[in-house]
Amino acid sequence: MALSILLLISILIPTFCGYCLLSFIFTKNKLDIVLKLALSYGMGMGLLTIWMFIIGSSGLELNFAHTTFPLVCFSFIFLLIAKHNAQLSENIPIQKNIVNTPKPNIMLIGFNSFLVIFIVVNILQIFWGAINWPIDSWDAFATIAFKAKIFFYEKSIPSLKILPHPTYPLHTSLAETWTAINIGRWSDQYIKIVFPCAFLSFIIVQYKFLKNYTDTTWSLLGCVLLISSNLAFYHATISYRDLFLMYYNCITIMLLILWSSSRKTSFLLTASFFAGFGSFTKLEGSSFIVLYIILFVIISFYNKPSFKDNIKNTLALLIPALTICLSFHIYKFFTNNLIDGIADCDKTALVLSWGQLLKFPKVIYAFYLNMFLSGNWNIVWMIACVSILLWDYKKKNREAVLVLVSICLFIGLYSAIALFTSNYPWIAGDKRVTTLSRLILHFYPLAPILIILINYLNFASDRLDTSSLNPKKQALNK
């Protein structure tokens, strides 16, 4: 019983801190409470691990008091400011489809109930698997849990150069250290509670995102498609960094699309924080910021903001993301953690040669085999391709276009990484085992989202164009 309470505290504290910051960011706008709570966990864990990195690398002891009290105090300040200005807030208008929603009938209610039960049962299985099965995979030991265990017992962050993979970001390791600090001991089982919590948070965010553009049934179907992936389910129960990168990456994309629809800077600022936290999760997260900027430019081109708004939006996107991203890289540089040979060890060495382009067909073939002929993704990618082929382009759907562009950008980025870094053998060469699957996981949730956004319009003749036609506005918090 006491252990359950301590685990609950380890979840509630970062959620509270994230809630306070989100309340401050959305001071002028009301955000749906369920969506805010779901986002709060990821926001809070990101803030917490950044704060732990600051105090740990500065020589202060990593204990409950140092990690909790200053962060909670600052969070209270943000919450008080937000509450003081709450009377000035307004609903966030999000452009949605014009829908003649039919009255719910018994069949539809029963179907929705079945979908909810399916989702709940799978979530419970994920929680059970995470906290009842200890860490048992090599990468989880070598790159994540080993560091977390050192941080916990040493109560500090030692020089990264004496740790395995010193260039790797520390978000996931510090998240596990945080759980161990809360329960007062090291446990290869209970420290994994952060992973099912992140997955549950993501499911809720995806549901609320889809609910904003579709209806309850289609939103639930999107969640079912997400859970149907064997790999996504598995990674929600093990100690890998890829689930957290998937979490921060895909939520960043969703927030950018919500910003595109609402034109509220609050969404953009939140997306920037999540982009920064992604860069503190895996090295790939730093390169993702370039893709977010490309998506930002595309959205700005269609929204046509004023020069003043464009400057404000650009700063909102870049300042938090780049501050978080560059801080860790600058720390590594000035503490001499970029030692000779580390680029080869961490597979970040560049291989710049025109001859590498000859390997491009093999890279694409590797993507094809993994996405369509492996057991990792069920038939989600196949459904996505069929949906694209059957897309009714007369019904303009900007949100679906942005999701499709994002998927193409990620495939392009990882293809470039395979061709021009030392990662080729692990992605498309003779050493490929799980690397490509984990890379695809980083953007996999975009496939279920794309399927739902396309087919929601395809299967209903009474639904008109989305945001491109400026239909009737709805409030996000309704």
pLDDT for the residue numbered 468: 39
Summarize pLDDT for 352-384 with one digit per residue, the tens: 777 788 899 999 999 999 999 999 999 999 999
210 occurs within a structural domain: yes
Strands (E) across 44-185 are located at: 90-91, 93-95
Asked if residue 190 has pLDDT above 70, the reply is yes
Greater model confidence, 467 or 101: 101
Strand partners, 94: 474
- Average confidence score pLDDT of the chain: 89
What is the β-pairing status of strands 473-475 and 93-95?
antiparallel
Distance of CA 121 to the CA centre of its chain: 23
> H helices of 98-157, where?
106-132, 138-139, 146-154
Fill in the DSSP letter of residue 143: I
Instruction: Assess whether pLDDT exceeds 70 at residue 345.
Output: no
The predicted structure's pLDDT at residue 339: 59
pLDDT exceeds cutoff 70 at 315: yes
Q: What's the angle, vertex CA 190, arms to CA 35 and CA 244, rounded to 5? A: 45
Domain that holds residue 442: 2-90+106-475
Contacts of 393 (CB under 8 A, 6+ apart): none
CA distance 283 to 382: 29
On whether residue 384 sits in a domain, the answer given is yes
Share of the chain above pLDDT 90, in %: 72
User: Mean pLDDT lowest for which of 95-109, 177-191, 463-477?
Assistant: 463-477
What integer pLDDT is reported at residue 337 of this predicted model? 64
Q: What is the pLDDT of residue 165?
A: 86
**High-pLDDT (> 70) share of the chain, %:** 89
Residues with Cβ < 8 Å from 80, sequence gap 6 or more?
none
Q: Could you give the number of structural domains in the chain?
A: 1
Give residue 74's pLDDT band: very low, low, confident or very high (50, 70, 90): very high
Nearest to 71 by CA among 31, 15, 23, 26: 15
Closest CA to 220 of 376, 114, 369, 365: 114
What pLDDT score does 478 carry? Answer: 39
Q: Does 27 fall in a domain?
A: yes
Average pLDDT on 467-472 reads 37
For the segment 59-68, what is each residue's pLDDT rounded down to a tens digit?
899 999 999 9
Residue 444 lies in a domain: yes
pLDDT at residue 475 tops 60 = no
pLDDT at 430: 75
Q: How far apart are CA 336 and CA 331, in angstroms?
A: 9
User: Has residue 461 got a pLDDT over 70?
Assistant: no
Q: How does pLDDT run across 111-133, given as a tens digit for each residue?
A: 999 999 999 999 999 999 999 99
Which residues make Cβ contacts (< 8 Å) with residue 101, sequence separation at least 6? 215
> What is the distance between the alpha carbons of residues 100 and 111, in angstroms, rounded to a whole number?
20
State the pLDDT at residue 470: 36
How far apart CA 221 and CA 112 sit, in angstroms, is 9
Read off the pLDDT of residues 121-178 as tens digits, 9 standing for 90 and up. 999 999 999 999 999 888 898 889 999 999 999 999 998 888 888 889 999 999 999 9
Which own/partner pairs from 119-125 qualify as long-range (CB within 8 Å, at least 24 positions apart)? Answer: 119/203, 119/220, 119/223, 119/224, 119/227, 122/227, 122/233, 123/196, 123/199, 123/200, 123/203, 123/227, 125/233
Give yes or no for a contact between 400 and 454, defined as CB atoms under 8 angstroms apart. yes
Task: Give the number of other Cβ atoms within 10 Å of residue 347's Cβ.
Answer: 17
Kindly tell me if the per-residue pLDDT of 385 is higher than 90: yes
Backbone angles phi, psi at 121, to 5 degrees: -60, -45
DSSP 428: T
Q: Does 145 reside within a domain?
A: yes
Rounded average pLDDT over 82-109 = 65
CB 451 within 8 Å of CB 384 = yes
Helix (H) or strand (E) holding 145: none
Higher pLDDT, 347 or 320: 320
Query: What is the mean pLDDT of the segment spanning 305-317?
Result: 93
Note whether residue 100 is domain-resident.
no
Write out pLDDT tens, residues 418-439: 999 888 888 988 777 789 999 9
Q: Is residue 134 part of a domain?
A: yes
Helix, strand, coil percentages (3-state) for the chain, rounded to 5, are: 70, 5, 25
| Residue 98 counted as domain residue | no
pLDDT grade for 338, boundaries at 50, 70 and 90: low
